[in-house]
């Protein structure tokens, strides 16, 4: 098995290293050490608090016991929702990536124990789903639209690949291969037409192929992606089954399912030349990012069906914006980025990472949001777990795998996608060993210094591609203190090609002024309102910072100057935005009324001058309850 067997350079989250249609190649989690003050503390909390507490939840809610029941090691009845196996698999994946980064011996022991329970539950024919054991065995594959059998299998496969790449062990990978072969014995050309009602297995099968080079797994992924749109899942938009993927041009239906489906499409594009599929994914991406995505990067507007709405249907207080859907968008963006290195994909990934995803977990690491609204009356709070607990282990596996998303390589050289203080050791396509040291205080400050380490030959020529975020105007780049040439353009990768030597340093300056953002006029919910942003972060206001002022009454006068300052004493250390703005309540004539004739006499309330304090959106609801809002009125 050529991929994943190298203990130092093989722990790839998405392995495009041998994908013929992918321009970018991955960098191993083992090759990157985060030392920054933003992401690494969160990954440490993920390791020390989140994953142990999730393990306890998996035990206390019977999710791991379900495997013991299936193997006969314990007696009793299945507990919970029929797709509960998937939560265990996501936890396995999260712990595997954590083990790949080192320093988690207790988690590693728990991981081995849980994998043992999973492996023992597999049936002789390769089938594994603890809900469909014993008295329900005759119901297998009888309701693929609703019962998530392939969805659960997909998460097992992804967990197995992660465990293999992190440890070199095939213990769980062998389980995944047998399960994939069982699915392939039921579905495929000349067999049964069908696909799971909840997409997931498609991109998992591509990654299983990449880990094993066994083409039957890739063939099954192609079949399952192509089976949609033929009525095999009921023919509804909810399941993205209303049309073949190559005929789709609007993102519809259940948002998480859609994101996983399009991620699988991008995975196939990395392996196959398919102009029709590429054209469709380009249209779907455009529809998502220009008409159906929140300013936080979140997707999925409707509570009904956890679904996308129509174009520009993006309610704030009733935003569904599920954490899992944001994670799905990040996965899709990453896979599209690998195809040709277009910065727009990395920009969206950064936006949703810092905002729409990170809000889904508390600062202390053991409470979670399912939806992520952009406005709330203070009654919505994070929970320690859910009956449908898809989001908690999903965000845990993303945080655990984060080092694998910072860098990439191509035939031309090194790509820097996300900025964080880190040390990296990787291989250039030429085989040269490249050591990097990155110093940064991102996202609070836009200064980034990249130092080239030892072991380069004197004539090593390659390119360094630095992402210039789309939000950044006026970026400057210097190499060894001298300007690197033409000014970099926002929303692009800026290429610096030269002969590099040990000790060379690149300095990138990304200005981070406070920005006011307005939305498209057709997004009527935000008419006359603006959002505040700085760097990659979207901001919000909370009642706790504004005394007796109702945050709904806050108005931002045009031309208001807001200052950014770092507060080490607040919310684990954040940069806040502050300034003097206006609070104006509804005029007294509205007392006791819901409607009145327009144009009548208006008894305008006097404006009050108040001190604004805006905090990063991801950090809201970590203090006492109170109103929150992202979009502020103007005057």
Sole residue written with tokens 């110093």? 439
Phi, psi angles (nearest 5°) of residue 75: -110, 150
Residue 309, SS3 per DSSP: coil
Instruction: Indicate the burial class of 551 (C-beta count within 10 angstroms; 0-12, 13-18, 19 or more).
Output: buried
Helices (H), 341-458: 343-351, 391-401
Q: Answer yes or no: are the C-beta atoms of 412 and 463 closer than 8 Å.
A: yes
Structure tokens at 455: 């072991």
SS3 per residue for 288-340? HHHHCECCCCCECCECHHHECCCCCCCCCCCCCCCHHHHHHHHHHHHHHHHHH
Structure tokens at 440: 């940064």
Catalytic residue among 117, 306, 350, 542: 306
Residue 197, SS3 per DSSP: coil
Known catalytic residue at 306: yes
Give the span between the Cα atoms of 215 and 227, in whole angstroms.
18
Sole residue written with tokens 């945050």? 551
Q: Which helix (H) or strand (E) holds 422?
A: strand 422-427
Catalytic residue among 390, 391, 472, 540: 390
Question: Which residues lie closer than 8 Å to 282 by C-beta, 6 or more apart?
Answer: none
Residue 314, SS3 per DSSP: coil
Question: Which residues lie closer than 8 Å to 569 by C-beta, 6 or more apart?
Answer: none
Written as one string, the DSSP assignment of 239-283 is TT-SS-GGG--S--SBHHHHHHHHHHHHHHHHHS--HHHHHHHHH
Catalytic residue positions?
306, 390
């Amino acid at each position: 098995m050529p991929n994943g067997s190298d203990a130092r350079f093989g722990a790839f989250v998405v392995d495009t290293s041998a994908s013929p249609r992918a321009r970018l190649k991955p960098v191993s989690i083992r090759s990157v050490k985060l030392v920054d003050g933003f992401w690494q503390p969160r990954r440490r909390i993920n390791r020390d608090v989140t994953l142990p507490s999730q393990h306890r939840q998996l035990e206390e809610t019977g999710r791991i016991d379900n495997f013991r029941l299936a193997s006969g090691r314990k007696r009793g009845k299945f507990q919970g929702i029929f797709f509960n196996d998937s939560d265990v698999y996501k936890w396995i994946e999260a712990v595997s990536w954590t083990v790949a980064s080192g320093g988690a011996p207790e988690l590693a022991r728990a991981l081995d124990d849980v994998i043992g329970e999973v492996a023992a539950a597999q049936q002789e024919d390769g089938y594994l789903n603890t809900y469909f054991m014993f008295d329900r065995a005759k119901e297998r594959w009888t309701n693929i639209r609703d019962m998530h059998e392939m969805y659960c299998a997909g998460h097992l496969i992804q967990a197995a690949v992660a465990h293999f790449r992190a440890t070199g062990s095939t213990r769980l990978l062998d389980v995944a291969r047998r399960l994939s072969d069982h699915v392939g014995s039921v579905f495929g050309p000349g067999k049964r037409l069908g696909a799971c009602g909840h997409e997931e297995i498609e991109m998992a099968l591509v990654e299983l192929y990449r880990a094993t080079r066994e083409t039957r797994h890739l063939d099954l992924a192609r079949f399952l992606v192509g089976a949609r749109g033929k009525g095999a899942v009921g023919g509804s938009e909810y399941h993205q089954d209303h049309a073949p993927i190559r005929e789709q041009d609007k993102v519809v239906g259940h948002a998480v399912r859609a994101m996983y489906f399009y991620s699988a499409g991008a995975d196939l594009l990395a392996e196959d030349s398919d102009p029709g599929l590429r054209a469709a994914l380009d249209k779907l991406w455009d529809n998502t990012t220009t008409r159906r995505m929140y300013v936080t990067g979140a997707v999925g507007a409707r509570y009904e069906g956890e679904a996308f709405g129509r174009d520009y249907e993006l309610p704030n207080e009733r935003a569904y914006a599920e954490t899992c859907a944001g994670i799905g968008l990040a996965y899709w963006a990453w896979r599209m980025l690998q195809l040709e290195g277009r910065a727009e994909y990395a920009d969206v990934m950064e936006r949703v990472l810092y905002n729409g995803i990170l809000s889904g977990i508390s600062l202390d690491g053991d409470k979670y949001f399912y939806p992520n609204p952009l406005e709330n009356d203070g009654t919505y709070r994070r929970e320690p777990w859910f009956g449908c607990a898809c989001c908690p282990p999903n965000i845990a596996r993303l945080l655990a795998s984060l080092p694998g998303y910072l860098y990439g390589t191509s035939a031309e050289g090194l790509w820097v996608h996300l900025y964080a203080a880190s040390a990296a050791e990787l291989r250039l396509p030429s085989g040269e060993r490249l050591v990097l040291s990155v110093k940064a205080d991102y996202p609070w400050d836009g200064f980034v210094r990249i130092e080239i380490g030892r072991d380069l030959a004197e004539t090593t020529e390659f390119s360094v591609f630095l992402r210039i975020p789309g939000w950044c105007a006026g970026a400057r780049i210097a190499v060894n203190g001298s300007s690197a040439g033409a000014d970099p353009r926002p929303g692009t990768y800026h290429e610096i090609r030269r002969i590099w030597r040990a000790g060379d340093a690149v300095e990138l300056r990304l200005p981070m002024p406070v920005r006011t953002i307005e939305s498209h006029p057709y997004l009527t919910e935000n008419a006359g309102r603006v959002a505040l942003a700085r760097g990659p972060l979207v901001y919000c206001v909370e009642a706790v910072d504004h005394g007796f002022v109702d945050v709904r009454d806050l108005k931002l006068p045009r031309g208001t100057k807001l200052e950014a300052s770092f507060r080490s004493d607040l919310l684990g250390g954040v940069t806040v935005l502050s300034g003097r703005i206006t609070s104006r309540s509804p005029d007294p004539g509205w007392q006791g009324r819901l409607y009145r004739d327009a144009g009548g006499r208006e008894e305008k309330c006097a404006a009050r001058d108040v001190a604004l304090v805006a905090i990063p959106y991801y950090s809201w609801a970590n203090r006492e309850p109170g109103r929150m809002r992202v979009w502020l009125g103007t005057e």
